[in-house]
Chains A and B, each alone.
Chain A
Amino acid sequence: MNHVELQAIRPLPNRDSDWSRDWNLYKPFWEGTREGKLFVQECTATGKKIWPPRFLSPYEPGAEVKWVEVGTRGVIYTFNIVHRSFYPYFNDQIPYALVVVDVGDGVRFLGNTVGMDPTKVKIGMEMEAAFEKVDDEVTLVQWKPVNGGI
């Protein structure tokens, strides 16, 4: 793909960016979002939630991990509002917000806002996952305010 072709493309989960990446750690997560569900890992020894996903539990050396469903509501832990584009796809998306939503048990997801003015984002706002189907493979997780648009 040449430089010009890259310009129009939305960056999406991309396993091919690393030649050596012959595993697929995030597969269960993306399978879940296609069903409108959020999955994270859990330590089989301690029961603690793990996010981002790991190959082995960080809580018990060598313990295996399993994927479990978590809730789709949470509270904004931190955020920013992006006024300058740093990638061609986002040139007509600015201003957009990046929100970090805490869904409990130490699990925080990052996404953009939908259904609200992104410049009105505040820490502590209650948000609910909004699943954005991009194509048959990828459903991204965005966040909409629980108490309606702002």
Chain B
Amino acid sequence: MRRSLSDQVCIVGVGETDYVRGTDKSLTQLLTEAAVNACKDAGIHPSEIDGVINPWRYNVRCEDLVAGLGIKELKFSGRSEMGGASAVAAIQQAALAVEHGVAEYVVVTTGQKGFSGPRLGGTDPRILDFNNTIMPNPEYRDNMEYPYGLMVPMQYFSLHANRWFYEYNPDPIGMQIVAMTCREHAQNNSKAYMKGRVMTEEDYQNSPMLVNPFRLFDCSLEVDGAGAVIVTSKRNAHRFKKPIYIAGIAEGHANQPDDMPTRPDILDMGIKYAAPRAFEMAGISRDEIDFAEIYDCFTFIVLRQIEEMGFCERGEAPEFVKNGRITYGGQLPINTHGGLLSQAHIVGINHVVEAVHQLRGEAGAAQVEDAKIGLVTGYGDMGDGSIAILHN
């Protein structure tokens, strides 16, 4: 019988920086601070870390974090070229490493200076240099996209969204429900950038149309910050008070993964392939999920992931999210901390941090009652997907 990774690995520490607009700190410093905070949370000394994955960013390498953590002998490092799907995909890499004893404690950290550094909603011509270091097939982008003014995620993903609306006629209110839900949830999270900044339906509807169908409030936040988690084998679980186990984990890539509009079906997404593998590994059904932290760089992609994970059919997610189903007390509370839309866009690790808080029962006002099994997703690049199913 094939050996399974299920329940062999746990997350034993989580940490975050503050989420702000405006900082003098380097991204290296933010990532290191988040990692140190995760070590404090775990109760281990940072020098015990022997694996580092800062999976996806062009200007900070894994080795750049070693000195700040006081690591004397790094045994494992890794990268993941999946944009916002990289955080969860990196946890899969870390899980494989610790399960086989390649390393004992691997820190996975993501972050960005989304406000003080490269801004994806700005007008700086250096965006193309930035893109060419983080995106697949830069030669295609140079030749076939930039000359026509296609260069930022909200443009790329709107091409997917508009085809979805055309083929399946989903209710446009779904995007507003996701935006409103995340903003409401952010009011329960002390770290959330939008805590104290409530949004009415009118605010949402009056927010400017940037690239149809995306209004400003369909887009995630440009903030500065970082988060980190510590992954170890269950061999070491006895050292920690509340280890959170990885029941299932997977990454997936659409066909073809380097471009969306030219692939046979622009609605094809990596998570469609990853989700069945993760659920099978976990031996857990969709009905058993108590909450889901769903990667929300844009409102519509939350809806699409709900569909492609199999919680409902294509085009039906706007119906699925109605009537309180995705808030506390509903069937599937999502983004209990506010998500990338209303807490912070630090490339996804904050979703994992919140899932761990929930499963430890430490989520405060955002606590989902009796949370036992949580789901976290990642989405990014040209539709890559990742998924983890965690339990306490």
Residues of A bordering B, CB below 8 Å: 3, 6-7, 9-15, 17-18, 21, 25-26, 29-30, 51-52, 58, 77-91, 93, 96, 98, 100, 106-112, 123-124, 138, 140
A15/B162 contact (C-beta < 8 A), A10-B147, A86-B122, A87-B149 known: no
**In the complex, which residues of chain A have a beta carbon less than 8 angstroms from the beta carbon of B262?**
51-52, 107-108
Distance in Å: Cβ of B210 to nearest Cβ of chain A: 5
- The answer to whether A17 and B132 have CB atoms under 8 Å apart is yes
**Would A80 and B155 count as touching, CB distance under 8 A?**
yes
| B138 at the binding interface (Cβ < 8 Å) | yes
B143 CB-CB contact with A under 8 Å: yes
Residue on A nearest B137 in the bound complex, by CB: A52
Inside 8 A of B137's CB, which chain A residues have their CB?
A: 52
Give the CA-CA distance A58 to B255 in the complex, in Å.
Answer: 11
Complex contacts, A29 vs chain B, CB 8 Å: 143
A-B contact count (CB 8 A): 123
B165 nearest in chain A by CB position: A123
B-side residues, CB < 8 A to A, are 121-123, 125-129, 132, 137-140, 142-152, 155, 158-160, 162-163, 166, 208-212, 256, 259, 261-262, 264, 266
Q: Which of A83, A87, A91 contacts B211 (CB 8 A)?
A: A83
Q: How far is the CB of B134 from chain A (nearest CB, A)?
A: 13
* Smallest CB gap from A10: residue in B: B147
Q: Is the CB of A83 within 8 A of B147?
A: no
Q: A78-B159, A79-B162, A100-B261 are in contact. Are A84 and B121 (CB under 8 A)?
A: yes
Interface residue from A13, A25, A123, A124 paired with B147 (Cβ < 8 Å): A13
A140 touching B148, Cβ below 8 Å: yes
Chain B residues whose CB sits within 8 angstroms of the CB of A107 once the complex forms: 262
Identify the closest chain B residue to A25 (Cβ): B139
Partner of A123, one of B121, B162, B209: B162
| Contact between B266 and A80, CB atoms less than 8 A apart | no
- Asked if B261 contacts A83 (CB within 8 A), the reply is no
Q: Is the CB of A96 within 8 A of B150?
A: no
Q: List 15 A-B contacts (CB under 8 A).
A: A13-B147, A14-B146, A18-B139, A21-B139, A26-B139, A52-B262, A80-B211, A82-B155, A83-B212, A86-B123, A86-B155, A98-B148, A98-B155, A110-B150, A112-B149
